[in-house]
Amino acid sequence: MAKKFKFELVSPERLLISSEASEVLVPGSEGDFTVLPEHAPVLSTLRPGVITVDFSEGARKHIFVRSGLADVSPSSLTILAQQAIDLDEIDREWLAEQIRNAEEDVADAEDEDKRTAAQNTLDRLREIEQNLPA
């Protein structure tokens, strides 16, 4: 039997997912990392990106997160996301608006650090746009 761990995804509004998972790819602020059962404890901030969850029953889900925090233990992963949206449910108009907002943030950035952060967000949003199902 494949090993699994408890996975929870929480947004400010509600608990979005509480299930057993076999693997989760997380967009950490220092780079992507994969959580497997018995992972070493880690606490990481998240950058805008896509979480890929492989559930223990074999299903896979892709979820866009705006930012947040990942808390990993050997038996669980809890992600506290500022915003989380299932890619299968993303409204293309909403995404286009988010891209426009990010482009404005890049143009209006007051210093190089803010410009870099805004550009990273814009790059991730464009990546999501390119990977949306047709």
Q: Which domain holds residue 54?
A: 5-87
One-letter amino acid for residue 57 of the chain: E
- Say if residue 27 is in the same domain as residue 81: yes
- Say if residue 103 is in the same domain as residue 81: no
- Say if residue 29 is in the same domain as residue 65: yes
| Residue 39, φ and ψ in degrees, nearest 5 | -65, 145
> What is the CATH number for 42?
2.60.15.10
For the chain, list residues with pLDDT below 50: none
Whether the predicted model's global pTM rises above the 0.85 cut = no
CA-closest candidate to residue 9, choices 59, 56, 52, 57:
52
pLDDT in tens, 47-62: 888 899 999 788 999 9
From first CA to last CA, the distance across the chain in angstroms is 35
Residue 102's pLDDT is: 92
Number of domains in the chain: 2
Coil, strand or helix: which one is 101? helix
